[in-house]
Amino acid sequence: RYFSSYPPHEVVGLPSLSPTMESGSISAWTKSKGDEFIAGDVFCQVETDKATVDFEAQDDGYIAKILVEDGAAEVPCGTPIMVTVENEEDIAAFDNFTVEEAEPAAASAAPTPPAPAAVAAPPAPAAAVPPATGTTSSTPAAGRIVASPLAHTLAKQKGFDISLIAGTGPRGRVIAADVNEYVPAAATVESVAAVPAAAQSHVATPGLPAPASIPAAVFGEGYSDYPISGVSLSATLAAAKQSIPHYYLSIDVTLDKLLSLRSSINASVSDDESSISLNDLLVKAAACAVRTVPSVNASWMDTFVRQYQNVDINVVMNTSEGLYQPCLPSVQTTGLASLSRTLRHLSENPTDPNHAKMGTLTVFNGGMYGMKSGAMIIRPPQSCALSLGVAERRVVPGEEKGSVKESLVMVATLSCDHRVVDGAVGAQWLQAFKGCVETPESLLL
């Protein structure tokens, strides 16, 4: 917030650095008054209810005033802790700035959280509606624009209305990166107008599977224009990558016993239609791991975390009509034979309504395409996504001391939303998944 008697500035409050954090202690400042900072620099170290976390800068500027000194304990989230400015010559104006002057800004900047709606026992969650990039306003109900001084300057230089720019900083604050990445609505309209009419009819139904026939390409001199499919998914993932605090965990998983179980099961069936694939077993193992660590089967709902009872898994598959993520409901109670038949049906029927449903976890078996490992973008409102790599032969320690053996090993990478699943819980889930795969008898229970 700007005060009329001061140059353009920003009063920075203590952010909430974990989902359960209500207050924190500033253990040490790494920047001092007058210091310049850039995006990614650490302002200070904050002791939260779980760990000591670095408070990093989102923009460039200078520290004009530190309002809370080292050692301050139990500082409530949102309490003003410093003042930043864009220009070095404005620092001196804040020598006598006080916390009392900042408190009205903090009070007006803290929105009243809505009362959470009554939580019913949810079925498979509805498909997420992709955010409308470029039309989300950064102006709160009170009409005040929450943006950094540098963001204000950049928006003015580029001729943008800053109230139309979606903020990705703390509490929805517009930062410089948001302004640099902003595409005005007029440019979006022009780009859509340039797409052939047939392509427009194809992309105008977000959330639904692609039709059976994809519009033909438009050929020019030295180039070919291909109509875009899956626009809804692309927009959702682009927004998710900017707004969800992703982190990634990987673990090596041995497949020998799982493949042995698969061979035993398939030896007892009479036809190929009833055979079980490795992918079927891995999807089932993911559901069994969720049953062991149910905290990952949840969604961030802004003011609360919703945990689901059923494990509904979106399985990424590439068909002749494009990339799809059909939903398998209640995988934790589905038998392997039924799971295999459902997956086979979905891969052969890209217009099945299940292609448009949203589950509680996404699994992508990149090993089917020779991918060694990968890290997926989380699809909201999910909080985790599992990526599986190709099975490779490796020399690993044997069962006897000092011995070695050759085994098939796969890399499993879990993408997590840190607001819902912290590092310890993510690691526990990966260990549970590893246990389900390496002790596959549990999949039959």
* Active site (catalytic) residues: 418, 422
- Is there a contact between 33 and 75 (Cβ–Cβ < 8 Å)? no
Closest by CA position to 212, among listed 297, 320, 360: 320
Identify the DSSP state of 332: G
In 73-187 the beta strands, taken as DSSP E runs, fall at 75-76, 80-85
Could you count the other beta carbons within 10 Å of the beta carbon of residue 389? 21
Q: Please report how many Cα atoms fall inside a 13 Å half-sphere around the Cα of residue 73, on the Cβ side.
A: 0
- Is there a contact between 111 and 302 (Cβ–Cβ < 8 Å)? no
Q: Which residue has the tokens 């052939």?
A: 196
Question: CA dihedral defined by 198, 204, 207, 211, rounded to 10 degrees?
Answer: -20
Alpha-carbon distance of 44 to 72, in angstroms, equals: 12
Could you count the other beta carbons within 10 Å of the beta carbon of residue 444? 10
- Is there a contact between 85 and 59 (Cβ–Cβ < 8 Å)? no
In 7-144 the beta strands, taken as DSSP E runs, fall at 9-13, 23-29, 36-37, 42-47, 52-56, 61-66, 75-76, 80-85
Q: 12 - beta bridge partners?
A: 82
Q: How far is CA 413 from CA 59, 161, 235, 430, in A?
A: 31, 40, 23, 8
Q: How many residues does the chain have?
A: 445
Alpha-carbon distance of 248 to 421, in angstroms, equals: 11
Token output for 400: 């006897």
- Is there a contact between 300 and 381 (Cβ–Cβ < 8 Å)? yes
Alpha-carbon distance of 91 to 9, in angstroms, equals: 9
Token output for 43: 């302002």
Question: CA dihedral defined by 245, 417, 362, 326, rounded to 10 degrees?
Answer: -70
